[in-house]
Chain A
Amino acid sequence: MAIFLAVSFLLSLLWVVHWIWWRIALPRRQRPVLLMIFLFGGILLSPVARLFVQQLGFGELTLIQWLNVAIVVISVTLAYVVAYSAVEADSPTLSLVRHIAAAGSGGLREEELREFMAKRPFLGARLTALLQEEMIREQGYKITLANHPYVLFRFVVWHRVKVLRIDSHGG
């Protein structure tokens, strides 16, 4: 219970900091800033969480319990950052689902769905984001990979091909 209360207190405070920051000025690289707020902010605010738990009469948390608090904060943060990708940029699949659901029992024809997708240039938006993050570059009329480590991309592709043995392209 003490771990749960410490985590709830920390995450609520950190989310408020994140919300205020985002409403004042949206960072250019949102996910790294988000990670920084939750992980470094979590460390900075842990003495306040300690006082909070003590005020509620739970006494001092042990080292293992603090490690447990850290694991909960890290896993919730990672899940939130992963989910945040879909907040930052629209998911084509979820956009389609919401559009089809809005049509009700009448459903939608393929042409209507094509019109909907044509108004949402997902490929262009992703290319712009990759250019802004300097992961690709324009060379004349061509696009090439930039000098970027692509750690996450490499790991995703390696896992898909070598571990899961799925050779087909996603997307």
Chain B
Amino acid sequence: MTETTIIQLLHLMAPAVALVLLVWSHAALCRLCPSWGILSLFLFSAILGGLGLLAMEFVAVGVGQTWGSNILSLVLVDGPVYACLAFGYANFVNLGQASVRIRIYRELLASPQGIALEELRGRYDEGGMLMTRLQRMREAGDLVFDGSVYRLRKRRLLIVGLILYWIKKILLGRESEFDK
């Protein structure tokens, strides 16, 4: 096997190695530190996965790749692939945390005879949904509550919201699923 082939294989495997490290460390941290917030747990694991990615890049340099070519591969290919995989995993974890559909599925799974629509609405009304989200965002430091009003503290969720807003406008020609 030539040096070039080994370097190409290392770059092919690097994001997968980083993802395995992320998933494994996330599971371990969730068990060892359950009191940490969901975001902290994920960020810490993502950093560990990122270190795994960097380790693979160093191995490629050790095999003989030049630093310039290595940094280019990291910035243009390996880094973005790891970011996409980490994003996918974060969303997968978040499905269990925040998805209304998964919550409905779990409720129905626990009641094989079915649930009356009104009962389901009672268990999971918009008010309850609101309070769950406000509490989650306050705990994560995204919102502040001074006893009477809620204000935005961190802009990270707003940035995500604005990106999605523009994608919806461009792709679907509407701002919200509730637009008539």
Binding site for B on A (CB under 8 A): 1, 3-4, 7, 19, 22-23, 26, 62, 64-65, 67-68, 71-72, 75-76, 78-79, 82-83, 85-98, 100-101, 105-110, 113-114, 117-123, 125-127, 129-130, 135-136, 139, 141-145, 150, 153, 156-157, 159-160, 163-166, 169-171
CB distance B101 to A79 under 8 Å? no
Specify which of A64, A90, A95 is in contact with B5 (CB 8 Å cutoff): A64
Main secondary structure of the interface of B (DSSP, over half): helix
From B46-54, B55-63, B161-169, the one touching the partner chain is B161-169
Q: Are A108 and B149 in contact (CB under 8 A)?
A: yes
Q: Is the interface of A mostly helix, strand, loop or mixed?
A: helix
Q: Which residues of the partner chain B approach A83 to less than 8 Å between Cβ atoms?
A: 87, 91, 164
Minimum distance in angstroms from B75 CB to a CB of chain A: 9
Given contacts A68-B12, A97-B142, contact A145 B109 (CB under 8 A): yes
5 contacts between A and B (CB under 8 A): A1-B72, A90-B178, A159-B92, A159-B93, A170-B96
- CB of A113, distance to nearest CB on chain B (Å): 6
For the complex, is B30 an interface residue (Cβ under 8 Å from A)? yes
Interface residue? B20 (CB, 8 A): no
Pick the most buried of A136, A165, A171: most chain B CB atoms within 10 A of its CB: A171
CB pair B129 A170 closer than 8 Å: no
User: Does chain A have a CB within 8 A of B100?
Assistant: yes
B residues in contact (CB < 8 Å) with A: 5, 8-9, 11-12, 15-16, 26-27, 30-31, 34, 72, 76-77, 80-81, 83-85, 87-88, 91-93, 95-106, 108-109, 112-118, 120-121, 124-127, 129-130, 132-134, 136-137, 142-143, 146, 148-152, 155, 157-158, 160-162, 164-165, 167-168, 170-173, 176-178
B161 touches A94 (CB 8 A): yes
- Contacts A4-B76, A90-B177, A93-B133 known; A156 to B100 CB distance under 8 Å? no
Smallest distance from the beta carbon of A17 to chain B beta carbons, Å? 13
Contact yes or no, B15 A171, CB < 8 A: no
Chain B residue nearest in CB terms to A79: B84
Do B15 and A75 touch across chains, with their CB atoms under 8 A apart? yes
Contacts of A67 in B (CB 8 A): 12
Q: Within the assembled complex, what's the spacing in Å between the Cα atoms of A124 and B130?
A: 15
